[in-house]
Chain A
């Protein structure tokens, strides 16, 4: 048996299968003298043609938005002016790899200079350039593997563009060398319900086709697992599925304390799956998808139509709508400025409404219009609230539109510490643990190297949750958690023990959270919360709670 490889675990399941690696970007070789310019021109045109064929084939197999993205990329690679420019350079004696790179980079610079949506296409061009250069050099083409059978995906890290194209029927588990607990990879793996290990440096050595067993709960990758190990893992997996399938319906602890179980929703293609999930509603409806990739904000009618679809799918259930959260990692040309040195600490979330009140007004009017002809219970909350006055002004505006329930996200430590004052104007709260951790620990949530500080088990983070939950309870206000923390069954018990009244996560995560709640009383949850709060650090908190749970 080979040595175990360790990283940060995501999810609770395990899965085994052959490794398929995502090929790394191809480094540009040193310039080379061209002996036969005509052959070089032919090679350049052939490389671009191969990229187009490849993308067209993948587009034909994909469906929905994935297919459109691929078709658009194929059209870019088929651009006649691009091919002529690269061919012209090759003709003049530039080697193929450099001719392609120079041709792509010329367009890249023009798009970046154009800004906004156009600048975002620069990443597409980089991807196409890398593919073309790989074809030219006869190297593996970067991008998602397609071995033709289910596989364990091993990659350096996944970009959002890769994750959109992942086929859950093919990917058994995900292992990445980089990334932390709140990275795109981790979020995607939870959404797909597949186990993952991120920040796994040792994974660099895993070759294509090697069999591995991936344990999401422990963050362990076991190369060449023995038949016994595979048998044990399969048996545990079977028990886990049985357990989570045994409990259905509204979330409650063993002694009947209700904890609403809700789903997160962020894109139209997730709607059918989210609505079909055994959940009491939507705990976090992210509205950014309506605003991304656009030069100006969508109008009231367009927004109302989109909200109406969601409210109809959740008729009779709760839908917590978060108003536009622009800024930081979601810049929008019409809402955010591009010249902030530190966008995570800049004008983002509700702060954009101070600069452009009409943006929020239109959105609230659209939500109210859609809510009017629906039986869904529509709650509306603002992202990035810092002080009571912001919460009060937002709540007043929400109510002015006839929407009865206004709330605030607790993502800024200042808001967590003053939840009692926020409760004077807010009807409910929702804690975004990812951003709350980023701001409480002064740690950029996109940096894998700071994963330990961003771990949702950090006792100081749980302390802020406890403070907010106590204040909310004193005012009789519901308070939920909608970050990645809510998807971890053990941590969910701790959160309930701290006073959290609802948990919102990816649909795939809910059955296990529901089963964990049903197996423990509120008093036991409080005991676990106490253990976690008093722990030294995140690992200690996780360890103490897990061993306490195992000891029962």
Chain B
């Protein structure tokens, strides 16, 4: 099991467009990735509703976890996405 912590970079938090982009990227990964606040039960990163329910704002820390082949690459890809300001990319 690999884990990585990342700070949410989107200016308005992890909702709407940023959340959609993150969930779509998670669905493209070869391994199942979970996301959550450190110390709390994580949720499936492919679930838009679960990700929205995290109510993560800009500057919040989230933890991504995955295991299996390619887990580290997937975590790195998704962490970069979370750290970027996806609102600004619009």
Contacts and interface: CB of A to CB of B under 8 A. Distances in A.
Interface in B9-25: 11-13, 15-16, 20, 23-24
Contact of B16 (A81, A111, A117, A296): A117
Contacts of A76: 48-49
Interface residues of B, number: 21
B12 A81 contact: no
B7 to A, nearest CB: 15
A200 B10 CA distance: 46
Given A72-B20, A79-B48, A81-B47, A295 B53 contact: no
A294 B47 contact: no
A110 B53 contact: yes
A71 B17 CA distance: 11
Contacts, number: 59
Given A72-B16, A72-B20, A80 B46 contact: yes
A82 B52 CA distance: 13
Contact of A81 (B13, B15, B44, B58): B44
A293 interface: yes
Given A75-B48, A76-B49, A81-B47, A293 B16 contact: yes
Contact of B49 (A71, A82, A115, A293): A82
Interface string B45-57: 0111110111101
B47 A118 contact: no
Interface string A55-98: 00000000000000001100110011110000000000000000
A111 B53 contact: yes
B55 A114 contact: yes
B4 interface: no
B44 A295 contact: no
Given A75-B20, A75-B23, A295-B58, A80 B53 contact: no
A116 B15 CA distance: 11
A118 B15 contact: yes
B6 to A, nearest CB: 18
A111 B58 CA distance: 17
A295 B12 contact: yes
Contact of B53 (A75, A114, A116): A114
A118 B16 contact: no
Interface in B35-80: 43-44, 46-50, 52-55, 57-58
A211 interface: no
B48 to A, nearest CB: 5
Contacts of B50: 79, 81, 107
Interface in A414-448: none
Interface of A is mostly: helix
A296 B47 contact: no
B20 A79 contact: no
A330 interface: no
A295 B13 contact: yes
Contact of A118 (B11, B23, B46, B52): B52
Nearest to B10: A295
A270 B6 CA distance: 39
Contacts of B13: 117, 295
B73 to A, nearest CB: 22
Contacts of B47: 79-82
Given A80-B47, A81-B43, A295-B13, A121 B20 contact: no
A118 B55 CA distance: 7
Contacts of A293: 16
B15 A79 contact: no
A57 B49 CA distance: 21
A82 B43 CA distance: 12
Given A75-B20, A75-B48, A295-B13, A107 B43 contact: no
B57 A295 contact: yes
B88 to A, nearest CB: 10
B53 A107 contact: yes
B57 A118 contact: no
Contact of B55 (A82, A107, A115, A125): A115
Contacts of B15: 117-118, 121, 295
Nearest to B27: A80
Contacts of A294: 12
Contacts of A80: 44, 46-47
A72 B55 CA distance: 17
Contacts of B57: 295
B54 to A, nearest CB: 8
A524 to B, nearest CB: 52
B57 to A, nearest CB: 6
A261 to B, nearest CB: 35
Contacts of B52: 111, 114, 118, 121
A82 B44 CA distance: 11
6 contacts: A75-B24, A79-B48, A111-B49, A117-B15, A118-B15, A296-B58
Given A114-B55, A295-B12, 7 more contacts: A79-B50, A80-B46, A82-B49, A111-B49, A294-B12, A295-B58, A296-B58
Interface of A: 71-72, 75-76, 79-82, 107, 110-111, 114-118, 121, 125, 293-296
10 A-B pairs with the lowest CB-CB distances in the bound complex, closest first: A114-B55, A81-B47, A110-B53, A107-B49, A79-B49, A75-B48, A79-B47, A118-B55, A295-B13, A294-B12
